[in-house]
Structure 1
Amino acid sequence: MSQSALPSDEARYCIALQPICDAQLHHVADELLYRAHGGALQADITDPLIATARACSAAFYEIGLDALVGSRQLYLNVSPDWLARPELLPLPVEQVVIELPEVVPDFDLVCNLRAAHQQGYRMAATLGWLQGPGQSLLELVDIVKVDVRQPQAMAVVPSLKAAGKTLLAAFIEQAEALQAARDAGFDLFQGYFYALPQAIQSLGSGPRRGNRAADMKLLRTLYDPEVDIRQLERLIVQDPHLCHLLFKRVNSASERRLHQISSVSQAITLLGLDKIRALTATLLLAANEPVKRLLVFQMLVRASMARQLASHLEGVDADMAFTTGLFSMMEQLEGVALEVLLKEAFMDPQVVAALLQHQGELGKILQVIESFEQASLEKRSQKQVEILNRKYLSSVAWAQDMMAMTEEN
């Protein structure tokens, strides 16, 4: 089927990566989601093989798996057609988890699943499918995805664990649901719990380090288009704890160099202003807490998308767009009203108007990003959506690079 022959909703697909965590809330995997129309919680796919091809093309061949997810696992929904001819779209066995198509399995599909299993692919399937049409294939499944919103979700844990299955608790939206799933013995966790202020406060390791107002001012100045290296250096050295973390990360990433980095100016020269800004922001906001790192990763993706979109608009400052994207999720991270955070940061009026009223060009950029995240792009052309998909994936790769620099060795 040619792409032009696809129905309009199918053509305007949106790609997203949803984090999967372990019991310590470390980001250990991602699911590559394909959403074909506005508000879709999952794919609504007319041609599954084309959906798989699109996702693979973007994730593996255009951006690169290592750039997108590093060493994490990637969960990928595949079609029966792909299982029949996997050589058409080769996927790395060691890093990809195949999510089984929720169809009634026929003889050919069962044979193809067994062949993929013998090749070494790990497989995931939903509990609902395994209790229905896929019941006979439980032996092939390594990971069982359980919808924790269902009444008997926790009751299935003992029998599945006894069968040697890894259990993934899906659709976790609240901190209470996360804790219940952890207590029940689930191994992996997926949902938007990490984006809720109350979850961040209850799952964090303790009170926020440092002075929030001072940190907000530092973030604002970091992305001021007029800031120079010496000014940035003066700002960073005022926070000894931040300096310690910065040097630790920069030097741990440069063990093969003859000389260790010993000054902030050296670090800026070595890494460049862009990386120093992102590294500083990540260290400042994430506070080395796994649940905060999840949200900071999403913040960096949004900020990078905003910067990329601004670069195509005349008269819109890309750094201000980045700041707008970054602060658009700050209320969730800090658990403090956005108006208060913006006041503490003495934020530029254009950014304030964009964040509070979606006004101006920066506000329009933010609206486009939010619509993309919600897969609500019915009014956008296929070409525009494809451009947004590519900017999203390149932003994920950039954020992955930034977050990797802050990981503990």
Structure 2
Amino acid sequence: MARWPVYNRCSAVPCRTSGPASNCPSDGNRVKDSSDVFLGRQPILDLRQRLFAYELLFRSGHVGFAEAGDNVRMTATVIVNTFNELGVETALGDRRGFINVDEGFLFSDTLELLPPHAVVLEILETVPATEEVVARCRELRAAGYTLALDDVTQIRPSYGPLVDLADIVKVDIAPLSDAEVARIADELRPLGKQLLAEKVESRERMQMCRELGFTLFQGYYFARPSVIAGRRVDYGKLSLVRLLSLAIGDADTPELENELKREPGLVLKMLRMINSASTGVAVKITSLRHAITMLGRRQLMRWLQLLIFASSGEEGGGNPLLATAAARGRLLELLATELAPQNAALADQGFMCGVMSMMPVAFGIPMDEIIVPLNLPDAVGDALCLRVGPLGVMLDLAEAAEADDLAGVTSRLAALGLDLDTFNRAQTEALAWSNRLEDEAA
């Protein structure tokens, strides 16, 4: 049975009565209201470059805090309430959420309201390896929690007891040279810990870490376009672009069907995606004509867009490009619905804009070359190429959230007239939808 927190004299922070007195931060630097919290996320990929987990980032949405670098700590209550109120556990599906834990949060009973199977507790580098801290970490491990050490850039002898208790060690590779990363990996490998490289900004550094024995990689490096002059789109994806153009142009059903039949492998993937539970289709779709008839052109265009990403990479679940594209599309659709509840066309354009914003990554060619044959609505084309209009602002908002750019998030939300709570709920729903779609389609 979960224990409710006992509040100490600070009143803002629920603390374990047995914890050290120094774990009592003042009210002035703690965020207490979950409606003022931005919930960000960073993908964590495994050796096969499949989605493994997300780091969940809780940030104060107060403008002053954002401008100051957002070093304000959340109360344990706010983090747990945000996690539970938004249904984050459900949104994560089979993937875990990594959550930062400072010393005050570590000694809070409220922490134990987080489900052990759904989270990984990241012990921040600022937490000292005192006897009390080591004992608390040992207690949490016994309760079923997985522990990770965060932002490791060197192995201090005094940190040994915490290293022993950690299941995962996160190495911040951003400030380190390749030689320094190699030295830390050499020190940690004999200890049998799972090594996670964080702040990975390029595929080259990911590959370097992989060769050093790292098995987990955090960052959006997989979503950075690698544009090569003269690169040609492969035939399968080119076929999908033609199909998308036909659907946007309201072509006849036989014309669409004939174009689809040229790529039987992609047709099979599309039928799997359409029949996944995330679509809400009550009748199993068994053929192309059936799909076109049952779904209508509006839905068909969505699946054609997502199919471009489903055709990228290996078979099986965890395709990060598909998950990111689907989440962006769904997020922009939900935000457009908040802005204009009666405007279905804007919601459709939001979905299209979000998904298509990832196409330079899938194709390896610039956006303006991709959209030329598609005859897109002006609002979508302008948002994708010029970042103007409400859709352009929404797209900037989605990218700012992915980059954990709180100042960018707050300024775009203000421009749209939306609040953080609305955005968090839309983002969580988008994450849940994309995870269901990607996993079930596999």
Q: TM-score category by the smaller chain?
A: 0.7 to 0.9
* Counterpart pick for 2:438 among 396, 400, 403: 403
Residue 69 of structure 1 corresponds to: 92
Q: Given that residues 225 and 360 in structure 2 are in contact (C-alpha distance below 8 angstroms), is that contact kept between their aligned partners in structure 1?
A: yes
Unaligned runs of 5+ in 2: 1-11, 14-26
Could you give the per-residue CA deviations for residues 323-372 of structure 1, whole angstroms, max 9, x where no partner exists?
Answer: 11122222233211111111022222221122222233322333343444
Q: Quote the offset at 1:148 in angstroms.
A: 2.4
Residue 81 of structure 1 corresponds to: 104
Query: Percent of aligned positions with the same letter in both sequences?
Result: 26
Amino acid at match of 1:153: V
Task: State the secondary structure of the residue aligned to 2:427.
Answer: helix
Residue 115 of structure 1 corresponds to: 139
Amino acid at match of 1:15: L
Moved more, 393-402 or 76-85: 76-85
Amino acid at match of 2:363: E
Q: Give distance in 2, aligned partners of 1:386 and 1:9.
A: 11
Q: Give distance in 1, aligned partners of 2:277 and 2:310.
A: 19
Residue 162 of structure 1 corresponds to: 190
Note the 1:172-211 alignment, pairs <5 A: 172-198=200-226, 209-211=234-236
* Counterpart pick for 2:381 among 352, 355, 358: 352
Q: 1:61 to 1:378 in 2, by over 3 A?
A: closer
Task: State the secondary structure of the residue aligned to 2:338.
Answer: coil
Q: Quote the offset at 1:160 in angstroms.
A: 1.4
Is it true that 1:244 corresponds to 2:268 in the alignment? Answer: yes
Q: Quote the offset at 1:287 in angstroms.
A: 1.7
Could you give the per-residue CA deviations for residues 278-312 of structure 1, whole angstroms, max 9, x where no partner exists?
Answer: 55433332325159931232122121121112113
Q: Give distance in 2, aligned partners of 1:297 and 1:352.
A: 22
* Counterpart pick for 1:391 among 411, 426, 429: 426
Residue 113 of structure 2 corresponds to: 90
Residue 301 of structure 1 corresponds to: 327
Q: Given that residues 134 and 161 in structure 2 are in contact (C-alpha distance below 8 angstroms), is that contact kept between their aligned partners in structure 1?
A: no
Residue 337 of structure 1 corresponds to: 366
Unaligned runs of 5+ in 1: none
Q: Given that residues 18 and 32 in structure 1 are in contact (C-alpha distance below 8 angstroms), is that contact kept between their aligned partners in structure 2?
A: yes
Q: Given that residues 55 and 98 in structure 2 are in contact (C-alpha distance below 8 angstroms), is that contact kept between their aligned partners in structure 1?
A: yes
Note the 1:233-272 alignment, pairs <5 A: 236-237=260-261, 239-247=263-271, 262-266=286-290
Q: Give the superposed CA RMSD.
A: 4.0
Task: State the secondary structure of the residue aligned to 2:136.
Answer: helix
How many corresponding residue pairs? Answer: 392
Could you give the per-residue CA deviations for residues 208-246 of structure 1, whole angstroms, max 9, x where no partner exists?
Answer: 652544422434566x59799888767644532221223
Moved more, 335-344 or 314-323: 314-323
Residue 39 of structure 2 corresponds to: 15
Q: Given that residues 224 and 361 in structure 2 are in contact (C-alpha distance below 8 angstroms), is that contact kept between their aligned partners in structure 1?
A: yes
Amino acid at match of 2:427: Y
Q: 1:320 to 1:279 in 2, by over 3 A?
A: closer
Q: Give distance in 1, aligned partners of 2:107 and 2:439.
A: 36
